[in-house]
Each structure stands twice: as C-alpha cells, then as structure tokens.
Structure 1
Amino acid sequence: MIRRLAAYLGDNRKYVAYCFFLVTGEVVCELLMPLLMARIIDVGIPANDIWYIARIGVLMVVLGVIAIGLGVTNMRFSAY
C-alpha cells in the first residue's frame, strides 16, 4: 500500500515529510498542555507559589502559539 501511495507522491515527497513532522510537533505541544495544567494544580496551588503558576501559564501560552504556528505551517505545506 505504501508503494502505491509513494507512486502518486512524485515530487511532493518532501512536503509529505514536512507535514508529518509538523503534525507531530503540533500534537506534542498540545499533549504537553494537560501535563502542565496538572503540575499547576498538583505543585503550584498547594504551595501557593504564584511565580510557579505564572511561569507554567506563560509556558502554556507559548506552547499554544507554537502549536498554532505549526498547524498553520502544516496547512500551508499540505496545500501544495
């Protein structure tokens, strides 16, 4: 089946590889968010550490922006 698919890809193989890595990066960023939220709940709130909560919150925002960027770039490459 992969050989059949590879025959249709032709010159677009590099775009398929880019999309694979971009989707993987986007998924990793999105899967880290619940883990970070759990750390805020398990570590930051019981310790009443506002700076820890703020740092993790900023990290979550950065990961969200990275995930959006990867998703948009993936859509751009998949349009070729």
Structure 2
Amino acid sequence: MKYDEIIKKFPYLFAILVGILFILAALFKWSFLLNNNSSNFMMNIHETFGEIGVRIMTFILGLVIIICSIIIWVIRK
C-alpha cells in the first residue's frame, strides 16, 4: 500500500500520530519542528515568550490535534 492510501483509509490515526509527533518535539526539543524561522506565527511566539513559549505552544497544538481528531472520529462512527 502507498502512504496516501493508508492516510485516506485511516485519516484520524494519521492526525493522532502528527499530534504525538508535536508533543514529542516539544518534550525533547527537536529542532526540525521547533525552528522559529519556519513561520511568522512561531517567530512571533519566539520573540514574545522565548523558546519555552514555542515548546509550550507546540505541546498544546499537539494536544488539540489529538483531541479534535478523536472527537471527530467518535462522532463520525
């Protein structure tokens, strides 16, 4: 199976995995996801709150992705 077929078959599981990736990036300071030059939003967060703020925002974003995907998954079943 190709990756796009797997994602189409299990979109909620893919979203949960992305959320877990964000949470792990925040916990372990993975620079490829916490790079403050990646977007204007993260640059503003980094300028205002520093590296800790970026890590907290990434952690919260991961939680929101996981919670929303689980809620949508349950509702659509």
Greater RCO, CA 8 A, separation 6+: 1
CA contact (8 A) 1:36 1:56 kept: no
CA RMSD of aligned residues (A): 3.1
1:36 corresponds to 2:17: no
Partner residue of 2:16 out of 17, 20, 23? 23
Distance 1:63 1:30 in 2: 7
Count of paired positions: 54
1:60 corresponds to 2:52: no
More helix by share: 1
CA contact (8 A) 1:15 1:77 kept: no
Distance 1:77 1:16 in 2: 15
* TM-score computed with the length of structure 2 as normaliser: 0.52
The one-letter code sitting in structure 2 at the alignment partner of 1:22 is A
Query: Rg bigger for which structure?
Result: 1
Q: Provide the identity percentage.
A: 4
Distance 1:15 1:72 in 2: 19
